[in-house]
Structure 1
Amino acid sequence: MVPWSSLLEAVFHLCSFDPTKATMSTERLRNEDYQDYSSTDASPEESPSEGLGNFSPGAYQRFGESNNTTWFQTLIHLLKGNIGTGLLGLPLAVKNAGILLGPLSLLVIGVVAVHCMGILVKCAHHFCHRLNKPFVDYGDTVMYGLEASPSPWLRNHAHWGRRTVDFFLIVTQLGFCCVYFVFLADNFKQVVEAANRTTNNCHNNETVILTPTMDSRLYMLAFLPFLVLLVFIRNLRVLSIFSLLANMSMLVSLVMIYQFIVQRIPNPSHLPLVASWRTYPLFFGTAIFAFEGIGMVLPLENKMKDPQKFPLILYLGMAIVTVLYISLGSLGYLQFGASIQGSITLNLPNCWLYQSVKLLYSIGIFFTYGLQFYVPAEIIMPFFVSRAPEQCRLLVDLSVRTAMVCLTCFGVERVSIK
């Protein structure tokens, strides 16, 4: 019988690795989730701080595939993933914090969000370099990080870190999709109900008596088949086309909003610099919801043709997003003051020019649904597809996607019925 030591030396020799650098714990060998540790050059006893301290970003040389997304497509996805329904509620959020504290808090939240995204990408790069993997996802990053912890308990339960992160990512991203269903239904319903009283005169913002139409839940059902077809697109490169369309429609609607709120801004002296502490949690909740793109960071980086450019794209994209959040939130509150509503579109005049803002923004949210849906789909699909026969895998994939879209639709309907 061949001694185990000789067998291990032969394997390491074939893989061109020094066996003295490949020490690993018994727990790792027994864990079936860690099948790719033969290429690591660090033991689990190495502290995370030491590993990250010795890691040089320039040493990370993962190359994407030729059919992956370009830097421009990744930037488009990043912008689209962060600009959603939460943006329209930021003027009310600034009201709940104060005209001074609100913008400052948005800036701090933006800096913290970008810093955390940067740390996440750096940790993912570290484990890719250390384990010789092409990429790692959120769950793997947490799992490998816990396994490198000095605590034996955390090392032995590292797989629960991955499962916990995957669970909360699924809940968060599908929650965004539920909000998109409500936003689409409510905005189209408002436009249809106000159509008889909508004029071409945008100077007089008169109160409009809405003409009742069908229930919002019926509007949700009307959007359901189109969103199902949208999530059948499983390639980020193809989705970038829809992200570009969404960004263009949202850009036009935001330009129209900005050109209205910058005109004849009232004297802000009567606005409080710092609002009551009782309303600050409302600001914080809205602001955190607005920064909704953190779930897209690693999937976008993993699908890049040239991932070395991602940190620059991340900082550029998030700088644009943060400036947009602060400016719209501040100017919207300055323009409408205490009368600002939950969505700034509700404060716009009831004319066709500004009603089109709701339609254009709704088109952008419609296409954003596919991008937000991409993250939970990437987590859930392998579980079902890997257990299906080879000839049925495509059918299983499309069926599970359809069921997940229906869940986001009927879950919202059930809540609204109650």
Structure 2
Amino acid sequence: MIFIHLEPEPTMELPTDAVEIPLLHSSSPRTTSTLQALGNIIVSVVGTGILGLPYAFRIAGWGAGSFGVALAGVATYYCMLLLVKCREKLTSQGRSKESRTFGDLGYICMGSKGRYLTEFLIFFAQCGGSVAYLVFIGQNLSSVFQGHGLAMSYYIFLIAVVEVVLSWIPSLAALAPFSIFADICNAIAMGIVVKEDIQKAIAGGISFDKRTAITSNMRGLPFAGGMAVFCFEGFGMTLALESSMKDKAAFPKVLAQAFVGITTVYVLFGFSGYMAYGDETRDIITLNLPNTWSTKAIQVGLCVGLVFTFPMMLHPINEIVEDKLKQSSWFEKIQDSNNVFSGKQLKVATYISRAIIVLGLAMLASFVPGFGLFASLVGSTVCALISFVLPAIFHLRLMGSSLSFGQKVLDSFILISGLLFAVYGTYNSLVGI
């Protein structure tokens, strides 16, 4: 889950100085302690995707699912370090101010096309995450109020109206606490799921004989892989997290500690959820929980938290769209005709563009058949390209001459594997949808 605090600024990318993760806030964004950095990494990486992991284990099997999550965790950790090494290289050359963001690295490595490609992928990754949020909210609210007979799309558009208003808030600082609230609800939901799993195990309701270790359906493996990649979100925060640390040399160790813990929790949670519900495991595990007031409260709490964090997911999208609008010919014509484009006109144009974006994402979400399938599609496409392909390309281009043969082979393997995974994973997810 990405938490963003930005002052209005006509930039294309999220500057690291403007990024603030509000779980463990320090007085200075560049003096984060080791413990604070560890908390920030966890908050940035862990999101709602974890609640879809038991379903991924059901599709791939508990053995293949565990291996896939572990592999995704190791690969993501390694590629995050590649980005850090790229910036360290540029910093040693006195180019630290040129390499603050993911887009900056794209420009340095591949020119304007590299920046456009990077920002294009980031844009669609944020769009995909936003749609996944709406689908998650819609499915949970539909489950809570199932007696009313309303379709999931009804709840999505109902929430979209609220999101349009929230997207007009000029500063997102006031919404940051709701991000933490959503994570707390995530943690409580995980606790309830684990409690249910333990109760089933004690009652003798779990049998390895009735659970698949490795699926015979080859489409199940890339599906689970896409879900696993989606779960390790927050990759775009790598440079901001590293630059915020007081002791930057400790970042690899802190990142490793965070990823070991997160990956272990992911594996155990996916395994226990699938073991508890078997073939009845839903694409969002909270939908499997007993129909009690506590379960409904958790589902509503999750939805409320995501409603208020949704504008933070939208902010990079709005920033890119509004910057492009200001560069368009019709905008320049208005400026020429009026000499000065008034603040009121600019505000109205901003409100309209943000409303269109929210309603467009809601329209797309209303056609998504389920959270699991869509999350796997997003993970297999833009997330895989951002997390694996781009870091490998940047590392090879920036440090190719100084890399050992083995390092070049490893980077090339990650690059090719990431591309193949993106192509086949996309095809597989689209077929499933």
Flag whether TM exceeds 0.5 (same fold).
yes
The structure with more radius of gyration = 1
Asked if structure 1 preserves the Cα contact closer than 8 Å seen for 2:153 and 2:366, the reply is yes
Match of 2:103 in 1: 139
Q: How does 1:7-406 map to 2 (within 5 A)?
A: 66=28, 78-130=41-93, 131-133=95-97, 135-146=99-110, 158-193=111-146, 211-232=147-168, 238-265=174-201, 266-278=206-218, 279-298=220-239, 304=244, 306=246, 308=248, 311=252, 314-384=255-325, 389=341, 391=343, 396-406=349-359
**Over residues 34-60 of structure 1, what are the superposed CA-to-partner deviations in whole Å (9 max), with x where a residue is unaligned?**
xxxxxxxxxxxxxxxxxxxxxxxxxxx
Give the counterpart letter for 2:314 in structure 1: F
SS in 2 for 1:100: helix
Shift of 1:218: 2.7
d(CA) in 2 for partners of 1:372 and 1:314?
23
SS in 1 for 2:200: coil
The gaps in structure 1 that reach 5 residues or longer are 1-63, 147-157, 194-210
Shift of 1:288: 2.2
d(CA) in 2 for partners of 1:280 and 1:317?
25
Distance 1:391 1:272, change over 3 A: closer
Distance 1:114 1:374, change over 3 A: farther
Distance 1:350 1:253, change over 3 A: same
What TM-score do the two structures reach when normalised by structure 1?
A: 0.67
Asked if structure 2 preserves the Cα contact closer than 8 Å seen for 1:170 and 1:376, the reply is yes
Distance 1:368 1:403, change over 3 A: same
Asked if structure 2 preserves the Cα contact closer than 8 Å seen for 1:89 and 1:342, the reply is yes
Asked if structure 2 preserves the Cα contact closer than 8 Å seen for 1:94 and 1:283, the reply is yes
d(CA) in 2 for partners of 1:108 and 1:368?
29
Give the counterpart letter for 2:149 in structure 1: T
**Over residues 221-261 of structure 1, what are the superposed CA-to-partner deviations in whole Å (9 max), with x where a residue is unaligned?**
22123323444456675554232222122222221222111
d(CA) in 1 for partners of 2:175 and 2:92?
29
User: What is the number of equivalent residue pairs in this alignment?
Assistant: 325
d(CA) in 2 for partners of 1:273 and 1:173?
33
d(CA) in 1 for partners of 2:160 and 2:30?
29
| Aligned residues with identical type, % of pairs | 26
Distance 1:380 1:70, change over 3 A: farther
d(CA) in 2 for partners of 1:318 and 1:362?
26
d(CA) in 2 for partners of 1:88 and 1:70?
30
Asked if structure 2 preserves the Cα contact closer than 8 Å seen for 1:139 and 1:166, the reply is yes
> How much is the aligned-residue C-alpha RMSD, in angstroms?
3.4
**Over residues 47-98 of structure 1, what are the superposed CA-to-partner deviations in whole Å (9 max), with x where a residue is unaligned?**
xxxxxxxxxxxxxxxxx99478956777666444433332222112112322
Give the counterpart letter for 1:272 in structure 2: T
d(CA) in 1 for partners of 2:255 and 2:350?
31
Asked if structure 1 preserves the Cα contact closer than 8 Å seen for 2:64 and 2:221, the reply is no
d(CA) in 2 for partners of 1:273 and 1:88?
20
Give the counterpart letter for 2:178 in structure 1: F
Shift of 1:166: 0.9
d(CA) in 1 for partners of 2:246 and 2:172?
15
Shift of 1:355: 2.4
Shift of 1:316: 4.2
The gaps in structure 2 that reach 5 residues or longer are 1-25, 336-340, 370-433
**Over residues 185-228 of structure 1, what are the superposed CA-to-partner deviations in whole Å (9 max), with x where a residue is unaligned?**
221122112xxxxxxxxxxxxxxxxx343333332222123323
Bigger mean CA offset, 276-285 vs 290-299: 290-299
**Over residues 106-127 of structure 1, what are the superposed CA-to-partner deviations in whole Å (9 max), with x where a residue is unaligned?**
1111110111122123323433
